[in-house]
A and B are shown apart, each in its own frame.
Chain A
Amino acid sequence: QSVLTQPPSASGTPGQRVTISCSGRSSNIGSNSVNWYQQLPGAAPKLLIYSNNQRPSGVPDRFSGSKSDTSASLAISGLQSEDEADYYCAAWDDSLTVYVFGTGTKVTVL
Chain B
Amino acid sequence: QLQLHESGPGLVKPSETLSLTCTVSGGSITSSTYYWGWIRQPPGKGLEWIGNIYYSGSTYYNPSLKSRVTISVDTSKNQFSLKLSSVTAADTAFYYCARRGNPYWFDPWGQGTLVTVSS
A residues neighboring B (CB under 8 Å): 1-2, 32-33, 35, 37, 43-47, 50-51, 56, 88, 90-92, 96-104
Contact A47 B106, beta carbon cutoff 8 Å = yes
Nearest Cβ distance between residue B26 and chain A, in whole angstroms?
Answer: 15
Which chain B residues border A91 with CB–CB below 8 Å?
Answer: 104
Contact A44 B104, beta carbon cutoff 8 Å = no
Any A CB within 8 A of the CB of B33 = no
Contact B103 A100, beta carbon cutoff 8 Å = no
Q: Encode contact with A along B74-99: 1 for CB under 8 Å, 0 otherwise.
A: 00000000000000000000001000
Nearest Cβ distance between residue A65 and chain B, in whole angstroms?
Answer: 12
In whole angstroms, how far apart are the Cα atoms of A100 and B103 in the complex? 14
Contact A101 B49, beta carbon cutoff 8 Å = yes
In whole angstroms, how far apart are the Cα atoms of A98 and B103 in the complex? 14
Question: With contacts A47-B107, A91-B104, A96-B63 known, what are 5 further pairs, Cβ within 8 A?
Answer: A43-B111, A44-B111, A47-B105, A100-B49, A101-B49
In whole angstroms, how far apart are the Cα atoms of A99 and B15 in the complex? 27
CB-based nearest A residue for B104: A92
In whole angstroms, how far apart are the Cα atoms of A51 and B106 in the complex? 12
Q: Encode contact with A along B46-68: 1 for CB under 8 Å, 0 otherwise.
A: 11110000000000001110000
Which chain B residues border A35 with CB–CB below 8 Å?
Answer: 104-106
In whole angstroms, how far apart are the Cα atoms of A47 and B39 in the complex? 13
Which residue of B46, B101, B105 is within 8 Å of A104 (Cβ)?
B46
Which chain B residues border A88 with CB–CB below 8 Å?
Answer: 46-47
Which chain A residues border B96 with CB–CB below 8 Å?
Answer: 44-45
In whole angstroms, how far apart are the Cα atoms of A90 and B103 in the complex? 12
In whole angstroms, how far apart are the Cα atoms of A2 and B48 in the complex? 9
Which chain B residues border A33 with CB–CB below 8 Å?
Answer: 103-104
Nearest Cβ distance between residue A30 and chain B, in whole angstroms?
Answer: 14
CB-based nearest B residue for A52: B103
